[in-house]
Chain A
Amino acid sequence: GQQVMQIPQYQHVQEGEDFTTYCNSSTTLSNIQWYKQRPGGHPVFLIQLVKSGEVKKQKRLTFQFGEAKKNSSLHITATQTTDVGTYFCAGRWMDSSYKLIFGSGTRLLVRP
Chain B
Amino acid sequence: EAQVTQNPRYLITVTGKKLTVTCSQNMNHEYMSWYRQDPGLGLRQIYYSMNVEVTDKGDVPEGYKVSRKEKRNFPLILESPSPNQTSLYFCASRDRGLKSYEQYFGPGTRLTVT
Contact = CB atoms under 8 A, between A and B. Distances in A.
A43 interface: yes
Point out which of B33, B43, B104, B108 has the most chain A C-beta atoms below 10 A from its C-beta: B43
A43 B41 contact: no
B42 A100 contact: no
A104 B56 contact: no
Specify the main secondary structure of chain B where it touches its partner: strand
A44 interface: yes
Interface in B47-72: 48, 50, 56, 58-59
Given A9-B40, A42-B90, A88-B43, A99 B102 contact: no
Interface string B83-114: 00000001010000000011111111000000
Contacts of A45: 102-104
A101 B59 contact: yes
B42 A105 contact: yes
Contacts of B104: 45
Given A42-B108, A100-B103, A88 B90 contact: no
Contacts of A31: 101
A98 B102 contact: no
Interface string A12-47: 000000000000000000010101000001111100
A79 interface: no
Given A42-B90, A42-B108, A104 B40 contact: yes
Given A43-B43, A101-B59, 20 more contacts: A1-B59, A6-B42, A31-B101, A35-B103, A42-B105, A42-B108, A43-B92, A43-B103, A43-B105, A45-B104, A48-B101, A88-B42, A90-B43, A99-B58, A100-B103, A101-B45, A102-B42, A102-B44, A104-B40, A104-B42
Interface of B: 31, 33, 35, 40-45, 48, 50, 56, 58-59, 90, 92, 101-108
Which 6 A-B pairs have CB atoms at the shortest separation, nearest pair first?
Answer: A102-B42, A42-B105, A102-B43, A104-B42, A45-B102, A43-B105
